[in-house]
Amino acid sequence: MASAPSLNQSSLAANSAGNGNSVALSSLMTLFFMMGFITCLNDILIPYMKAIFMLNFTQANLINLCFFGAYFFMSIPSGKIVEKLGYKPGMIIGFLITALGAFLFYPAAEMRVYGLFLGALFILATGIALLQVAGNPYVAVLGKPETAPARLTLVQAFNSLGTTIAPVLGTAFILAKLPEITPATDVALIPVDAVQNPYLLIGGVLIAIALVLMAIKLPKITHGGADDTNAAEVDKGSALAYKHLVFGVIGIFTYVGAEVAIGSHIVNYLELPSVMGMSAAEAGNFVAFYWGSAMVGRFIGSVSLKSEEYSKARIAGLTAIYSFVGYALINFILVLSGKFEMMQGVHFTLIFSAITIIISYISAFALELKNPGKILAFNAFLSVVLVVVSISSSGSISMISILLIGFLNSIMFPTIFTLAVAKLGKYTDSASGFLSTAIVGGAIVPLAYGGIADVSGLKIAFILPVLCYLYIAWFGLKGHNAK
């Protein structure tokens, strides 16, 4: 999932040489990778927790409510911490809080108390929220201002790399230990070490990263004044007085909500006899294609956002390379882990890369890169089409169409964010805070999705993501106009 950048006017102190910036950017790529990895493990935890605690879909989605709810409650306090202590201390504290939450999974799982598990998850998510608040604005100033969107998209691509790898490892170490659930299954005998051991390891890795970050000398950020050249045409007294920002906040809410609602239920969706009839362990492997498609899209976007530096022919060539290499990487991981046969991996690599290349060429050349609003609307409308195709079909068509929505999601966050803060001048900083808080959509929309699924089934529940994407399409066409 993409994260909210802060576009305040900042500059690097004397230690902003390219060498220092390269070290800092490499550190931030590691940070974003871990945030994506941990976030996407929720998609694996939901079916596992649903089984061992005998939960319905609504109760299982309390996992998303606690995780993304932390953004709503903790984004503003996190901003105060960063403002008081600085970005590097903020990131270090964020890693340590996240590690604490990961370690608390052990006693929560041992006691088999769902409420304690949710509490540990909230603490973990609090650390992630602090990492988001501290890391994003730092990325924005590590280089030329005009290439900031490309850098943000690049680090988000590493975030997506984490979300790509997490389902494969999570399936191997967590879902693979989940037995087939029948009315005769004694859930008290389902092992909890499948959850305990991976999160103990994650906690240890996070502490190690925090220690390394303490030892690294990062460029120091100093803040400048408001951007007078980008001042709002009319000073309305507050950020929320600008309608296009309000519409953008709703856009972020609906985007994150739809993305998480789909990603969190792919395993259960592919288990349906009317879709693929897979086991949970087998279906978990395909979650990698959903988040991996976002990774492919963001690597392509990191090039497309520098369109002035490249010819159309070069962009076309790089698009093809990133699509093929990205999906080859996903399938290589699955083949290496023993989940796919080699020819099966080649088959999916060719199918997914071919479709994403076609989509990229249409959006880049038919709609032109110069109009991000139209590209956003195009991706949103196509997402609606793919959802309808998926719920109206069965087998491989149903599966591939729902997984490819991850590719269309890839450019939505940075595009919505950029359009929402246009012409806000001195209110850009506070606008960024509101947009970050809107990530709580990842808590509320999946919970509502689960409620509909409990009553009407998983396929009918997809009407909710459809409504979200229709709103995003409207924002791209009309709602973002800064008037």
Amino acid at 380: A
- How far apart (Å, rounded) are the C-alpha atoms in residues 426 and 418? 15
Please tell me the distance from the alpha carbon of residue 55 to that of residue 194, in angstroms, as a whole number.
18
Between strands 221-223 and 10-12, the pairing is antiparallel
What separation in angstroms does the CA of 351 have from each of 21, 266, 324, 332?
38, 19, 10, 15
Cα–Cα nearest to 34, from 76, 3, 8, 72:
3
Domain enclosing residue 421, as ranges: 10-479
> Are the beta carbons of 265 and 460 closer than 8 angstroms?
no
pLDDT of residue 435: 82
Return the structure tokens found at 100.
């604490």
Measured CA to CA, the distance from residue 379 to residue 187 in angstroms comes to 42
Please give the span between the terminal C-alpha atoms of the chain, in angstroms, as a whole number. 29
The residue among 364, 358, 281, 355 whose CA lies nearest residue 315 is 364
How far is 404 from 293, CA to CA, in rounded Å?
6
pTM value > 0.85: no
CB 300 within 8 A of CB 310: no
Say if 365 falls within a structural domain: yes
Tokens 């280089």 locate to: 143
Q: Identify the H or E element spanning 12.
A: strand 10-12
Enter the tokens of residue 420. 């929402």
* Cα separation, 398 vs 394, whole angstroms: 5
- Alpha-carbon distance of 102 to 107, in angstroms, equals 10
Q: Which residues of 428-466 are buried (b: 16+ CB within 10 A; e: fewer)?
A: bbebbbbbbbbbbbbbbbbbebbbbbbeeebbebbebbb
CA 267 to the chain's CA centroid: 17
Nearest-angstrom CA–CA distance, 159 and 471: 25
CB-based contacts of 276: which residues, under 8 Å, 6+ apart?
270, 283, 395, 396, 398, 399
- Whether the CB-CB separation of 331 and 189 falls below 8 Å is answered with no
In DSSP terms, 11 is beta-bridged to 222
Angle 453-73-153 from CA coordinates, rounded to 5°: 80
Q: What is the rounded CA–CA span in Å between residue 163 and residue 157?
A: 10
The count of other CB atoms within 10 Å of the CB of residue 144 is: 9
Query: Nearest to residue 99, comparing CAs of 173, 34, 24, 45?
Result: 34
Q: How far apart are CA 219 and CA 139, in angstroms?
A: 11
Residues of the chain with pLDDT under 70: 1-21, 137, 140-150, 178-187, 220-237, 304-312, 363-370, 425-426, 428-430, 482-483
For residue 310, being part of any structural domain is answered with yes
Does 433 fall in a domain?
A: yes
**Cβ proximity of 256 and 447 under 8 Å:** no
Considering the domain boundaries, does residue 338 fall inside one?
A: yes
Considering the domain boundaries, does residue 56 fall inside one? Answer: yes
In a domain, 3, yes or no: no
Count up the domains in the chain and report the number. 1
Q: What is the CATH number of the domain that holds 165?
A: 1.20.1250.20
User: Is 424 part of a structural domain of the chain?
Assistant: yes
Burial of 115 (0-12, 13-18, 19+ CB in 10 A): exposed
Contact (CB, 8 A) for 460 and 388? no
Which of 110, 140, 114 lies closest to 45 in space, CA to CA? 114
E strands present in 38-184: none
Alpha-carbon span 217 to 400, nearest angstrom: 45
- 3-state SS, residue 350: helix
Rounded distance, CA 401 to CA 20, Å?
43
Q: Is residue 429 part of a domain?
A: yes
Please provide the DSSP assignment of 27-73 as one string: HHHHHHHHHHHHHHTHHHHHHHHHHHTT--HHHHTHHHHHHHHHHHH
Do 351 and 369 form a contact (C-beta atoms < 8 A)? no
